Amino acid sequence: MKDIFKIAWRNLWRNRRRTTITAASIFFAIFFAICMRSFQLGTYDFMIKQLIEAYTGYLQVQQKDYLDDPSIDNAFEASPELLKKINSDPNVKVAVPRIESFALASTGNLSKGVMVSGISPEQERKMSNPAHQLVRYRLTSQKIALILQDKSIPAETVDKIKSLENQSFISKSNLMTDLGLTPDDPLLLDKICKLTTMKGRYLQADDQCVLISDLLSKYLKANVGDSIVLMGQGYQGVSAANIYPICGIVKLPSPELDNKLVYMPIDQAATFFSLTGQVTSIAINLKNTDAMKETQKRLAYLDPVNLSVKNWEEMNPTLKQQIQGDSESGKVFLAVLYIIIFFGVFGTVQMMISERWREFGMMVAIGMKRGKLALIVAIEMLFLGFIGAVSGMLLASPCIVIGHYYPYTMTGEMARMYQDMGFAPVMPMALFDSYFFLQGVVIFLMVILASYLPIRSIMKLNVTQALHGN
């Protein structure tokens, strides 16, 4: 058997060009299949983290009727004992109480319906962490005009500055990256930062001010230091209205939330909505998201009479349906890709066999058994499949790592389409998981399947016809 492997390996490299072409077809097949699936799964994970992990949580404890009627009247008492029991679950990473309801926000002649979220500032750092999303810099038209007074700025940087008008940034590094600057331009970067700085701070537990989301602030034309009027309905029909100064602006990763969110300390929210010691939900993030439903069942026994525990799929069925629909369409597209790949590999293998047909006839004529010849060719195909699959996976690996940590950001109409659907126009790639190796296995099986007919032809080989090239 060892000799057969040696013969098969040497046969491959007797014609390097043919072997390279065949291996390349397999290589590109697995490379594109892995990259496509990685983009797809990475985008799903990003969507979930945007809307679920970064705000609503994978699970929420609610009053039984709250999901069907998200009214402030369906609040419940979040006692320290209840929070302690929730946090004691081995799969609970963090659990934070919230008061959430809707109100009308107004500044001057502008108004908009918003979601008011009462949070515990310190506990919320472990969940959505609004402090990390504070807007530090904003390129308004007035500030851009001041920056462009400096005639020493390169034309390329000028174009990028103009293209980022009215954009907000949460850090100096983000601003530097989007402007295409490098650490070699510290003076220019410092000047831009100085002119575009926004002063803002995070909430404190005893504050009587609010944080508002970035897109909401742009719509209401409200900045740090301005005041916002909130009007709504409190607990059991009580009127809720007050004026709050804006102490900071946060840029949320989800455009849907960024359009409407107002944060305030949970005690201030309780006063605004006339609640006493009650919350509308307890948001929970998990250590192991695969065990979400098992954790949900355990927490449901805490108070099955008054409370219910909902997972993100129940709270956000629209997102679940979008992911399922896109996943199914992606699988169909992947199946079409596999069919194209299969016929490409099949054609390449047939070409290789056709070129060697006279050689096969000669080998059988001098005494080699057809079964042994077919085995050698089968091993050659396995070698080719292995070389193509491994090289494709090796090249895809750095692409996946780069695409995960430096994701592709869409622009133009495609970006606007994603934003209209409530998602950030970003397409990260998923890191290594079972999908990575599954694509290699599928392509490898396709190579074996593509080799079936040629091997079958060898078993029925007619020596006379083969020697004549037929």
Comparing CA positions, the residue from 319, 301, 455, 325 lying closest to residue 381 is 455
Q: How far apart are the first and last CA of the chain?
A: 31
Matching residue, tokens 């080719």 = 384
Question: What is the Cα–Cα distance from 448 to 470, expressed in whole angstroms?
Answer: 25
Question: What is the Cα–Cα distance from 123 to 113, expressed in whole angstroms?
Answer: 26
Q: Quick check: 424 and 260 in contact, CB under 8 A?
A: no
Cβ burial 185-207 (10 Å sphere, 16+ → b, else e): beebbeebeebbebebebbeeeb
At 116 the pLDDT is 93
Instruction: Determine whether 459 is exposed, middle or buried from the number of CB atoms within 10 Å of its CB (0-12, 13-18, 19+).
Output: exposed
pTM for this predicted structure: 0.70
Question: What is the Cα–Cα distance from 125 to 43, expressed in whole angstroms?
Answer: 25
Task: Give the start-to-end residue ranges of the domains of the chain.
Answer: 2-51+319-467, 57-315
At 367 the pLDDT is 77
Question: What is the Cα–Cα distance from 458 to 451, expressed in whole angstroms?
Answer: 11
CA distances from 319 to 52, 119, 322, 414 (A): 10, 24, 5, 19
Compute φ and ψ for 336, nearest 5 degrees: -60, -40
In this structure, are strands 408-409 and 307-311 parallel, antiparallel, or unpaired? unpaired
Question: What is the Cα–Cα distance from 53 to 44, expressed in whole angstroms?
Answer: 13
CA 137 from centre of chain: 25
Cα-Cα-Cα-Cα dihedral sign, residues 87, 90, 94, 98: negative
Comparing CA positions, the residue from 365, 356, 343, 342 lying closest to residue 446 is 342
pLDDT means per 10 residues, the chain with 470 residues, are: 76 77 80 83 78 82 86 87 88 91 91 92 87 88 82 77 83 77 73 84 90 92 92 88 93 83 93 89 88 89 84 80 74 78 75 75 77 78 82 87 81 60 71 78 78 77 69
At 210 the pLDDT is 94
Question: What is the Cα–Cα distance from 290 to 299, expressed in whole angstroms?
Answer: 16
**Residue positions counted in the chain:** 470
Question: What is the Cα–Cα distance from 195 to 457, expressed in whole angstroms?
Answer: 76
Question: What is the Cα–Cα distance from 279 to 272, expressed in whole angstroms?
Answer: 13
DSSP for residue 428: P
Question: What is the Cα–Cα distance from 424 to 46, expressed in whole angstroms?
Answer: 9
**Which ranges constitute the DSSP H helices of 104-259?**
121-124, 141-147, 155-163, 172-178, 186-196, 214-220, 255-258
Comparing CA positions, the residue from 226, 216, 285, 310 lying closest to residue 257 is 216
Instruction: Determine whether 156 is exposed, middle or buried from the number of CB atoms within 10 Å of its CB (0-12, 13-18, 19+).
Output: exposed
